[in-house]
Amino acid sequence: MAISAADVSKLRQMTGAGMMDCKKALVEADGDFEKATDIIRKKGQAIANKRADRDATEGAVLAKSNANNKKGALIVLNCETDFVAKNESFVALAESILDLALASDANTVDDVLALQLNGVAVKDVITEQIGVIGEKLDLAFFGVINAETVVAYIHPGNKLATLVGLNKDGVDVQIGRDVAMQIAAMSPVSVDRDSVPQDVIEKELEIGKEQARLEGKPEEMLEKIAQGRLNKFFKESTLLEQVFVKDGKITIREYLQKVDKALTVTEFQRFSLNA
């Protein structure tokens, strides 16, 4: 049957596939849009299978808080090349998945993949786009924070993003943004020393002892020296004890307490493609 340019354009808008791919799919489906969409999706699955062993290490890292700043979400949509990562359509796809996830009750990557985007599961939308783009795509990470105030930060270039939750309602967004940027710049391991995982503490103590031993320190002094180095680690690597990058004279805890004595960070998320 004859396929009109309007039909091709309509399928292209529905799937994002190229004009020729849309025309071929419509011809094969005898003009049936549902069947044509399935054909394009199957093509994406075939390409996905072929490229399953490829490394998808580029992509877009995006974060966003909702309208009342009570919830924030962070996603990572991977692709194979920086060229695709910078493509407007690819970034728009990542943004649409982020918006959908933020408005849902999703807590995991699998939850997000099961959500319906314009009537199609996110998992299938990504498969479709593999066929359109010709690269492996992968929803590699999803994180969510609920707090009295949640602020998001995306570093220019979409390679690094952060979320920070604060324990007070109505906090000036710039305050949260300052902390979110601190997280981006300094990559803390936890909010404070009390929230550092025990295995990390044990590892740092062991490293401290071994360094002191190699420096020729007396064996009976190793534990004390390691504890001192652990305290230094806490100051450098826990968010509230880090020196504020915008004011080297105070810590993040002191910066927040200048705003409100009881203001603190409840949790944060950080993801970098270059980590």
Please list the pLDDT of the chain residue by residue as tens digits (275 residues): 667 777 777 767 776 666 777 777 777 777 787 777 777 766 665 555 556 667 778 999 999 999 999 999 999 999 999 999 999 999 999 999 999 999 999 999 999 999 999 888 999 999 888 888 888 899 999 999 999 999 999 999 999 999 999 999 999 999 999 999 999 999 999 999 999 999 999 999 889 888 888 888 888 888 888 889 999 999 999 999 999 999 999 999 999 999 999 999 999 999 999 76
The pLDDT, as a whole number, for residue 26 is 73
Which residue is associated with the tokens 């309208």?
67
Q: Is CATH 1.10.10.410 the classification given to domain 5-50?
A: no
Dist CA 74 CA 17 (whole Å): 27
Q: Encoding tokens for residue 25?
A: 């799919």
The pLDDT, as a whole number, for residue 51 is 60
The class level of CATH for 54-146 reads: alpha beta
Report CA-CA distances (Å) from 161 to 29, 64, 151, 223.
42, 9, 11, 38
DSSP string, 128-188: HHHHHH-S--EEEEEEEEESSEEEEEE-TTSSEEEEEEESSTT--HHHHHHHHHHHHHH--
What are the extents of the domains in the chain?
5-50, 54-146
- Rounded to two decimals, what is the model's pTM? 0.80
Question: Which residues on neighbouring strands pair with residue 269, listed in sequence order?
Answer: 163
